[in-house]
Amino acid sequence: MFNFLLPNEYVNTIFEITPEKLQKLGIRGIITDLDNTLIEWDRPDATEEIAQWLKMLQASGIKIIIASNNNEVRVNRFAEPLGIPFIYRARKPLGRAYYAAMKEIRLKSNEVAMVGDQLLTDIMGANRLQLYTFLVRPVAESDGFVTRFNRFVERRVFNTLERKGIKTWEEQQ
């Protein structure tokens, strides 16, 4: 029943996602969320560490695109200096942005992973298209207004999964 919400992998930080790991999985491209996945939702620009991680992936032949539910100004400010294509107002978990992202990076669903911090948007949407999914621990303790509601629902889902004996993030420590 909850399979569409379960990621393929739980990771504490994006830095656990290496080119070697992706290549072993047959992944040639990633669609990544922005807010609280790569950087805090209220930080406008990439940190040097994030910029280096993105460059390392690209240098290894991994294609990257950002798909964010945020507005164009926010996503452009982050992505444009890094030369990374992006989709804003993605309306995840709906499929349109995922299809557009795969078209932009010219890859098929079995070659693409989704990296995100939310079950109800990033993971659910990507699972519906059978992308490989990484659920990353949010980089900030706080969230924007809409995301706070999603986090409330996520906590309930995690509690239900734990009661059913299904491993979740917290057990991955």
pTM of the model: 0.85
In contact, 119 and 81? CB cutoff 8 Å: no
Please tell me the CATH superfamily of domain 3-139, with its number.
Answer: HAD superfamily/HAD-like (3.40.50.1000)
What is the mean pLDDT of the segment spanning 106-113? 97
DSSP H helical ranges for 60-122: 72-79, 96-105
Contact 90, 69 (CB under 8 A): yes
CB neighbour list of residue 68: distance below 8 Å, 6 or more residues apart: 33, 34, 35, 74, 75, 86, 87, 88, 90
Q: Where are the domains of the chain?
A: 3-139
Instruction: State the number of CA atoms in the 13 A half-sphere of 5 facing the CB.
Output: 18
43 vs 143, which has greater pLDDT? 43
Which residues of 33-155 form beta strands (DSSP E)?
Answer: 63-67, 86-87, 112-116, 132-136
Q: What is the pLDDT of residues 13-39, one digit of tens each?
A: 999 999 999 999 999 999 999 999 999
